[in-house]
Amino acid sequence: MFKVEPHYKFESKDVDLPKCMFKMDKIVGKEGVSLPGQGGTNGPIDIQSLEKRQDKILKELAEIEKEVKNLEEKFGVETTTAASTKQVTSGTAAVIGNIIHDVVVYANPSSPPHSLVYLYNRLQESYTCRTAVHVHSSVQSVPEKLLNYFGNGVTVERPEAQISLTLIWKDVKHGPEMRVNPSDQTPICGEANIARYLARLFQPSYEADLHSACLADHWLDLASFSLVGGNTKERAAAVRSLNSHLGKKSWLLESTSSFVDAVVFSALHQAGQRSGASGNVKRWLQGCESDRLFGQMRTLLA
């Protein structure tokens, strides 16, 4: 290259550095920072294990993706519009505010989601709720007792309710479906998932304890996959496992009834396993029916 003379002569010895800025430490060349790839005795091993972990995660993700695809095909749900499901973090009435949180549930009158009654009664403990029951035109007629599904509670006007639960008896093929805000949520399918959503409203902390959250998920999965969606063998196995669990406890999770009890209770009915129930399961079923939070379940089942 050519040599170029400096543009100007720099003679001053002291340079006035501006004092209006913050001082910062040098980033490069500082001691104690080891750049990736250089130095560090166990560097390569770290990277290898990291890579392994990444591969494993990617593989798991792919598996989950496949599973979702399968479910999507099975139930014919469109996930194209699926945006993020808004996290329901609030448990306090103040955060939900005076917004009426209109939860719409479609259910088939031939297999009523009995857990809704329980969930509604629990919601009522923390919020002003109202319910409405409609019959969709795809259904010719429904029994009288289903029209009065939630019992003769005090009904508040729509604008005054914090949570409004609208139940629509509709000819839905794959279990109940819930819609809260269809423009930025996909419908939530399956009774167990609806129960999860609603349970977060009245008991936002139920997932805080990982152990109990896993237990809850175990029973919910058992209800939806083995009892409702399973074949005869799987059903029998599920009932057996219920029976042995209920030998030690009177309720599935805690010392009192929980929404998990309600979902499994409903699943047993839908699977037609109620009449054949014996021993501990039978005792537990009777316990559910007479529980206050199950409302008028006896009349509904009669």
Task: State residue 96 phi and psi, 5-degree precision.
Answer: -65, -30
**Of 71 and 104, CB closest to other proteins:** 104
Quick one: tokens of 283? Answer: 């005792």
- Which stretches of the chain bind other proteins, using CB under 8 A? 100, 102, 104, 106, 134-138, 158-159, 166, 168, 170, 179, 181-183
Cβ-contact 185, 122 below 8 angstroms: no
**Of 38 and 183, CB closest to other proteins:** 183
**Of 128 and 166, CB closest to other proteins:** 166
Strands 188-189 and 101-107: unpaired
User: If you ran DSSP here, which 8-state letter would residue 163 be given?
Assistant: E
Quick one: tokens of 210? Answer: 């990982």
User: If you ran DSSP here, which 8-state letter would residue 158 be given?
Assistant: G
Shortest CB 99 distance to other proteins, Å: 8
Cβ-contact 264, 287 below 8 angstroms: no
What does R_g of the chain's alpha carbons equal in angstroms? Answer: 29
Q: Which of 92, 103, 99, 294 is nearest to 202 (CA)?
A: 92
Grouping H, G, I as helix, E, B as strand and the rest as coil, residue 142 is coil
Q: Which residues pair with 177 in a beta bridge?
A: 106, 189
- Whole-number Å distance between alpha carbons of 253 and 256: 8
Quick one: tokens of 229? Answer: 């969606």
Shortest CB 121 distance to other proteins, Å: 23
Shortest CB 135 distance to other proteins, Å: 4
**Of 38 and 137, CB closest to other proteins:** 137
Shortest CB 100 distance to other proteins, Å: 7
Shortest CB 262 distance to other proteins, Å: 25
Shortest CB 179 distance to other proteins, Å: 5
**Of 85 and 244, CB closest to other proteins:** 85
**Of 172 and 262, CB closest to other proteins:** 172
